[in-house]
Amino acid sequence: MPDQMPSADSFLPFALPDIGEEEIRAVEACLRSGWVTTGPVTRRFETAFRDYLGAEVEAIAVNSATAGLHLALEAAGVGPDDEVIVPTLTFTASAEVVRYLGARPVFVDADPHTLNLDPAAVAAAITPRTRAIVPVHFAGMAADMDAIGQLARRHGLRVIEDAAHAFPTRHRGRLVGTLDSDVTVFSFYANKTMTTGEGGMVVTRDPRLAERIRCMRLHGISRDAFDRYTARTPSWYYEVIAAGFKYNLTDIASAIGIEQLRKIDRFQGRRTELAARYDAALAGLPLVLPARPAPDSGSTHAWHLYVVRLERAAPSVDGADGAGMAHGGRDALIARLAERGIGTSVHFIPLHRQPYWRDSYGLRAADFPIAEAAFGAMLTLPLYTRMGDADQERVIAALHDLLS
């Protein structure tokens, strides 16, 4: 019964990492090896990641996707007074990296169906100062990369993909990471489709960008300069060619990453299965279910997040009048689910609503009607590989109970 409080261990979180004995053994081996910072295991992780993508790309491990996005924009030449186009419906990291470089994020609205950034809004936001576009593959379905690529080519812009949700995701048969953008950045944060605790991977086909990113990842120390100037190099010698950053991934984290990567197809299979079960079981409820790629498109969904939206006509959930709540129906539904031990979240509070972004750039909600409407109606249901069928049944039953 709803008024029966669930015991602590029966609380269903909205996400949970899937760490096995393999990861634990790999970390132990790393710790016993005596080499714990960036070294041979990280190099193996980078190679394995590139091999998974199966393309002529370079993969550069970093300690977060945020760090990777910063490095990518820096290498792409983004600097003070440049503009970078970013969706409003994303995590703040997608935009903050633009500020790291003194550039200006220009926020754009979402497509009402996919919730990915809207190419028409991108086109309207381009000015002579625009330097780059940062598409985010919302929830794990690729943004319209054909339209974005066309705009970028026409206006001479860089495309840096925030692929924090999109491993593995296919776009018209090609994996994200092998598309025609300049750089793609993946996240291995705890709740992503695979994790290293904290971590990320930067992928690019462009050897010049790769060289700059590798160099800036570790204090601006140039290995190439090192090799160029000395034939027989003493091991203590190095050259600093820029004021770089400390963004390298440790071998401890990479050891976890290698094992997670081995499991990623199984993880992806389970996520896809859970998403299909939600689709079928929730179809009759007053919910807008997540967009999915057309079956014959060659595109796939990583199902990092399963985001539903309450339909306007949804009956008001008990307590929906909630004092001062702007989004009574959605907020009450989250509260009622939590009472039943079901964790949900909201992805995302649009950046134009966040005090820093709103006040720094004078952003107005009226300029982002799609993201505004989506935000007021959306919640993220539990979806993770260790979720059992019975766990999911609990979520489905609670939603039927509350929304029928």
Ligand X SMILES: *Cc1c(COP(=O)(O)O)cnc(C)c1O
Q: Give the residue, chosen from 88, 94, 130, 300, that forms a contact with ligand X under the rule CB under 6 A.
A: 94
Pairing mode, strands 287-288 and 239-240: unpaired
Instruction: Kindly state the DSSP code that residue 236 receives in the 8-state scheme.
Output: T
Measured over the CA atoms of residue 187, residue 175, residue 171 and residue 256, the dihedral's sign is: negative
Cβ neighbours, 10 Å, residue 238: 14
Does residue 196 belong to the site contacting ligand X (CB under 6 A)? no
- Looking at the Cβ atoms of 223 and 353, the one nearer to ligand X is 353
Give, to the nearest 10 degrees, the angle between helix 389-403 and helix 264-282. 30
Is residue 45 within 8 A of residue 61, CB to CB? The reply is yes
Q: Give the residue, chosen from 38, 42, 64, 181, that forms a contact with ligand X under the rule CB under 6 A.
A: 64
Q: How far is CA 46 from the centre of its chain?
A: 19
Candidates 44-52, 146-154, 160-168, 231-239; binding stretch for ligand X (CB under 6 A): 160-168
Candidates 26-34, 58-66, 284-292, 323-331; binding stretch for ligand X (CB under 6 A): 58-66
Kindly state the smallest distance separating residue 390's Cβ from ligand X, in Å: 28
3-state helix, strand, coil in the chain (%, to 5): 40, 15, 45
Q: Give the residue, chosen from 66, 181, 193, 254, that forms a contact with ligand X under the rule CB under 6 A.
A: 66
Alpha helices for 185-238 (secondary structure H): 207-217, 223-229
Q: State which H helix or E strand residue 150 sits in.
A: helix 145-155
Does residue 162 belong to the site contacting ligand X (CB under 6 A)? yes
Q: State which H helix or E strand residue 317 sits in.
A: none
Alpha carbon distance 229, 299 (integer Å): 47
Alpha carbon distance 384, 399 (integer Å): 18
Our answer to whether residue 192 is catalytic in this structure is yes
Kindly state the smallest distance separating residue 347's Cβ from ligand X, in Å: 8
Does residue 164 belong to the site contacting ligand X (CB under 6 A)? yes
Kindly state the smallest distance separating residue 192's Cβ from ligand X, in Å: 6
Is residue 188 within 8 A of residue 257, CB to CB? The reply is yes
Q: Which of 70, 137, 165, 192 is catalytic?
A: 192
Candidates 35-43, 86-94, 119-127, 292-300; binding stretch for ligand X (CB under 6 A): 86-94
DSSP string, 165-190: T-TT-EETTEETTSSSSSEEEEE--T
Does residue 65 belong to the site contacting ligand X (CB under 6 A)? yes
Residues in binding contact with ligand X, number by CB under 6 A: 14
Does residue 274 belong to the site contacting ligand X (CB under 6 A)? no
Alpha carbon distance 201, 193 (integer Å): 13
- Looking at the Cβ atoms of 95 and 103, the one nearer to ligand X is 95
Distance set, CA 386 to CA 10, 155, 270, 391 (Å) = 13, 45, 9, 10
Does residue 14 belong to the site contacting ligand X (CB under 6 A)? no
Cβ neighbours, 10 Å, residue 364: 9
Kindly state the smallest distance separating residue 383's Cβ from ligand X, in Å: 14
From residue 120 to residue 149, the character string flagging contacts with ligand X as x (rule: CB under 6 A) and all else as - is ----------------x-------------
Candidates 87-95, 353-361, 385-393, 394-402; binding stretch for ligand X (CB under 6 A): 87-95
Q: Give the residue, chosen from 14, 45, 49, 91, that forms a contact with ligand X under the rule CB under 6 A.
A: 91
Alpha carbon distance 114, 261 (integer Å): 27
Does residue 49 belong to the site contacting ligand X (CB under 6 A)? no
Does residue 93 belong to the site contacting ligand X (CB under 6 A)? yes
Question: Look-up: residue for tokens 């132990």?
Answer: 28
Candidates 157-165, 226-234, 258-266, 362-370; binding stretch for ligand X (CB under 6 A): 157-165
Q: Give the residue, chosen from 187, 254, 300, 344, that forms a contact with ligand X under the rule CB under 6 A.
A: 187
Residue 289 burial by CB count (10 A; 0-12/13-18/19+): exposed, middle or buried? middle
Candidates 85-93, 153-161, 320-328, 367-375; binding stretch for ligand X (CB under 6 A): 85-93
Does residue 200 belong to the site contacting ligand X (CB under 6 A)? yes
- Looking at the Cβ atoms of 290 and 329, the one nearer to ligand X is 290
Residues that bind ligand X (CB under 6 A): 64-66, 90-91, 93-94, 136, 162, 164-165, 187, 189, 200
Residues assigned a catalytic role: 192
